[in-house]
Amino acid sequence: MIKSEASKKIQKLRKDLERHNYLYYIEAKPEISDRDYDHLMRELLDLEQAFPDLVTPDSPSRRVGGAPLEKFRTVEHQVPMLSLDNTYSREELEEFATRVQKGLGRGSFSYFVEEKIDGVSIALVYEDGLLKLGATRGDGRYGDDITENIKTLGSIPLRIPIPGSSFQGPVPELLEVRGEAYISKDQFAKINQEKEKNSEEFFANPRNACAGSLKLLDPKLVAARRLDALIHGLARYEGENPPHSQSEAMAFLKDLGFKVIPDAKKCRDMHGVFGRVDAIEKKRAKLQYEIDGVVVKVDQFEDQKTLGMTSKSPRWMIAYKYPAEQVETVLEDIKIQVGRTGVLTPVAILKPVQLSGTTVSRASLHNQNEIERLDARIGDHVLIEKSGEIIPQVISVNLEKREGNLPKFVFPQKCPDCGEAVGKRGDVVVIGLFPNVKSPVAICCLNPLCPAQLKGALKHFAGREAMDIENLGVSIIDQLVEKGMVKDLADLYYLKITDVEALERMGEKSANNLMEGIEQSKKRPLPN
């Protein structure tokens, strides 16, 4: 292919890829399959490899991740990234309204209320429509240049307007927007599943996972984490027809192809604001991203300017935080579970307590390091927290309530199930989401014949996500392993009806059902 021809083809591919990207990430209405998208991307990557001087910084090929960096460059924020004042009560919100009225010298103005995303703050700078800089908040004045990592986020435009967006008119010469990067709840679960598979320590919550990902120096690894972002602010605008308010700015950014906070509305008064506070709290658990409250802004930019800021935060904006779903209870025991990959995971056994509508008697303690960090000891009063649909976790220990000399918790040196030695495995072969990542290796039972690991493996194997073997429940698996009837996964398929009937609480009918379930599963492809 000659260069001019390649150039044309590349242009076309880029336009198509960015349009499909927009349809997928922002409109959630994809027109082509992931496979076809990957195919187009492959074609572009091949052409760019053949004609390297045709590579541009806004090519969608950057989304799969460029070359690793040595370290991040420090950048100064032209407009500081301020922190927000937090309030926890409606009275404080009323006081905010009173202060704003006084500051503006009038009682009538509009608010803009939006979900407060519990993510990682980012700044994006566009020059003549091209994404020039993606930066972290840092200390508010200086942040890290993480542009190459930011480019891997499918919902962030590399160039505006995005092909397929509804924007018409001139693009500002300079545009800086602010937003929150986050990891969706589904993706967070996937990342931790992958970590479990690789015997690595878990991320405590989606925000930690997101912050940790953005700090990676290899953009390819960031791409694999599949981060997302929501835009909520306009920091700089140089060009014709600037927006005059937060609501106008968000509509404008949406037109350009940005993914703005979906639930954000203008309110005429505090009555309206409280209505939004209640409505957003109700659907909080159902969202794919974590929120910890709402942000209330004075809508008009002119009014924002009049109000100005204190030494650390703007006077025209405030966060209302939902009551934390936290409660204190007694840590009655720490049980060690052995997973199917042999990882020893400590679980807090709690004095049962009510937390956001459910009775909680167990919480995650993640790993040995976490127990040491918290200095959690059996008998302590601990604070537990539940966020979204994630299992509750121990947040802190109330040392004031510690009575007497509670002994430090000693992590077992032997597998609680098989009694064999535990330790850190050597070099873990890491595949899938995290190629070549070295992360803290968890403590594992090193016995390949460990019954707890076999039980875990069988439960996984029989589960919906793998072979989906009907009627093979947890108690049956436990018996099969404990009675030595199943010593590896393949043994399942050599079970005879007479073996199965001999199990406890197993009638003829359920034995038949189980055999049928195993038989049916043979028709399914092997899980990967």
The distance of closest approach from Cβ of residue 367 to Zn ion in the complex, given in angstroms and rounded to an integer, is: 17
Decide whether 183 or 418 has the Cβ nearer to Zn ion: 418
- Please count the residues of the chain: 528
Looking at the Cβ atoms of 153 and 450, the one nearer to Zn ion is: 450
Among 100, 131, 334, 415, which residue sits at the site for Zn ion (rule: CB under 5 A)? Answer: 415
Helices 206-214 and 185-197: angle between axes, nearest 10 degrees = 80
Q: Does 418 bind Zn ion (CB under 5 A)?
A: yes
> Least Å distance between CB 453 and Zn ion?
6
Q: What's CA 372's distance to the chain center, in Å?
A: 25
The one catalytic residue among 12, 15, 102, 116: 116
> CB of residue 424 vs Zn ion: minimum separation in angstroms?
15
Closer residue to Zn ion in complex, CB, 170/423:
423
Q: Residue 338 Cβ, how far from Zn ion at the closest point, in Å? A: 5
Nearest to 84 by CA among 250, 295, 263, 266: 295
Tokens of 202: 């878990």
Q: Which stretch binds Zn ion (CB under 5 A): 127-135, 343-351, 408-416, 508-516?
A: 408-416
Sign of the C-alpha dihedral, residues 392, 393, 399, 404? positive
Of residues 323 through 382, those in contact with Zn ion by CB under 5 A are none
Provide the minimum distance between the beta carbon of 440 and Zn ion in the complex, in angstroms, as a whole number: 21
Cα–Cα distance between 64 and 110 in angstroms, integer? 42
Least distance (Å) between residue 481 CB and Zn ion = 12
* Cβ proximity to Zn ion, 41 vs 450, nearer residue: 450
- Rounded to whole angstroms, the Cα distance separating 450 from 455 reads 9
> Which segment (33-41, 103-111, 370-378, 414-422) binds Zn ion by CB under 5 A?
414-422
CB of 447 to Zn ion, least distance (A): 5
CB of 409 closer than 8 Å to CB of 372: no
Which lies closer to Zn ion via its Cβ, residue 144 or residue 417?
Answer: 417
Residue 71 phi, psi (nearest 5): -160, 170
Beta strands in 414-462, from DSSP E residues, in sequence order:
422-424, 443-445
Q: Which of residues 251-290 bind Zn ion (CB under 5 A)?
A: none
Shortest Cβ 451–Zn ion spacing (Å): 7
Whether 116 is a known active-site residue: answer yes
Question: Is residue 181 involved in binding Zn ion (CB under 5 A)?
Answer: no
Kindly tell me which of 128 and 482 has the beta carbon lying closer to Zn ion: 482
Calculated CA dihedral for residues 141, 152, 319, 97, nearest 10 degrees: 90
* Angstrom distance (rounded) from CA 6 to CA 4: 5
Whole-angstrom CA distances from 277 to 114, 242, 297, 452 are 9, 29, 13, 47
Pick the stretch among 155-163, 176-184, 275-283, 416-424 that binds Zn ion (CB under 5 A): 416-424
How many binding residues for Zn ion (CB under 5 A)? 6
**Ranges within 186-225 binding Zn ion (CB under 5 A):** none
Tell me which residues in 421-460 interact with Zn ion (CB under 5 A): 445, 447, 450
Q: How far apart are the first and last CA of the chain?
A: 39
Burial of 49 (0-12, 13-18, 19+ CB in 10 A): exposed
Residue that is written with structure tokens 């099969």 in the block:
480
CB closer to Zn ion, 43 vs 420: 420
Answer yes or no whether residue 417 interacts with Zn ion by CB under 5 A.
Answer: yes
User: Which of 27, 260, 36, 14 lies closest to 159 in space, CA to CA?
Assistant: 14
Identify each DSSP E strand in 239-316 by its residue range. 264-267, 291-298
- Given the rule CB under 5 A, which of 5-13, 112-120, 123-131, 413-421 is the region that contacts Zn ion? 413-421
Give the CA distances from residue 387 to residues 228, 290, 360, in Å, rounded to whole numbers and listed in that order: 19, 8, 13
Q: Between residues 154 and 339, which has the closer beta carbon with respect to Zn ion?
A: 339
Contact residues toward Zn ion (CB under 5 A) are: 415, 417-418, 445, 447, 450
Kindly list the catalytic residues: 116
